[in-house]
Amino acid sequence: MESTSQQRQSENKSSNDVRQGFKILLKDYREKTKEFAMLESKLREHKVVVETLMNENSDRKCYVKIDGYLCERKMKDVLPDLINKTADLESRLNNVKDYLANQGDIIQEYRAKHNMELSTFSLYNKLF
């Protein structure tokens, strides 16, 4: 009798561990998805600014926020930095996208390994 109750407790414990592990994977996936959306938004903004500044005179004054202070600069000084930041954002965005694709595969493998069915999981697959 005791061995049966101990088996049930260990099965429940392992079942809870599986669910907890899955929740952790999904939480991480959601956080990275939010980061991806934020980076994508920033990248769009940077591209619009770069396109706008490309059409302007390079000696024209512009203002840049540096460490919380608004500083006056010339566009010829600002544009290269902005282009570098745009390239950096693109690289970070690609890294997060690759991470999300990998994490999605890990989640699928986890579900298959533990025979989990989740009807709302198809929503996550459609994100990427």
Each domain of the chain, given as residue ranges in start order, spans: 2-127
* pTM of the complete model beyond 0.85: no
Is the four-CA dihedral 92, 94, 97, 99 of positive or negative sign? negative
Instruction: Return the half-sphere exposure (C-beta side, CA atoms, 13 A cut-off) of residue 26.
Output: 14
Has domain 2-127 been given CATH number 1.10.287.370?
yes
pLDDT digits (tens, 9 = 90+) for 54-108: 989 999 999 999 999 999 999 999 999 999 999 999 999 999 999 999 999 999 9
Rounded CA gap, 53 and 82, in Å?
Answer: 10
